[in-house]
Amino acid sequence: MDEKVLKQAQSVYETVCRALDAKQWKYQRHDEDLTITCGARGEDLPMDLVIIVNPRAQVVSVISPMPFRMSEEKRVDGALAVAIANYGFVNGTFDYDIRDGEIRFRIVSSFRESILGEELINYMVVIAAGTVDEYNDKFLMVSKGMLTVQQFAEWEQKKNEQ
């Protein structure tokens, strides 16, 4: 790997740590992998956040997996709900693995020939935590059959009209 790219990735990693320190977030550093793990508290379900600096792709990603998997009998409904949720997003997306029902939120920024600031890192973390907090309970309700895809779509439409 190009030494210049690796140094830039390490610099981005340190920027991520400084941004979290400035906001007094508690987190665990995994320096060998340029990865940070932490949690966030939402209105209902706990949220895990993983921040990965990938030197090969020259990106920083914030990923937040749901603390559950879509039940097997609701996997197609889960795919529809994720597609409905993703449609209007400006930044970030829910990834969905229909094989095992995993849902995770992901937001990515490139640092190719760029300098990323702490404010961008804060933005990415806030978007990830806020979006996951807004949707995680709805996805869980779809998984448990407490919310139909039609009801999910109606909730989404009302939310977007506000």
Report d(CA 74, CA 60) in Å as an integer: 32
pLDDT tens, residue by residue, 7-38: 999 999 999 999 999 999 999 999 999 999 99
pTM to 2 decimal places: 0.94
The single residue listed with the structure tokens 């993983």 is 50
pLDDT in tens, 98-125: 999 999 999 999 999 999 999 999 999 9
Evaluate whether 107 touches 124 at the Cβ level (below 8 Å): yes
Query: What would the DSSP string read from start to end of 56-98?
Result: TTTEEEEEEEEEEE--GGGHHHHHHHHHHHHTT-SS-EEEEET
pLDDT-derived band at 159, boundaries 50, 70, 90? confident
pLDDT score for 160: 83
At what angle are helices 149-161 and 75-86 packed, to 10 degrees? 10
Distances (CA, A) of 97 to 20, 66, 94, 119, 162: 30, 12, 10, 31, 30
> How do 35-40 and 27-30 pair as beta strands?
antiparallel
Residue where the block lists tokens 């895809």: 149
Q: What percent of the chain has pLDDT over 90?
A: 90
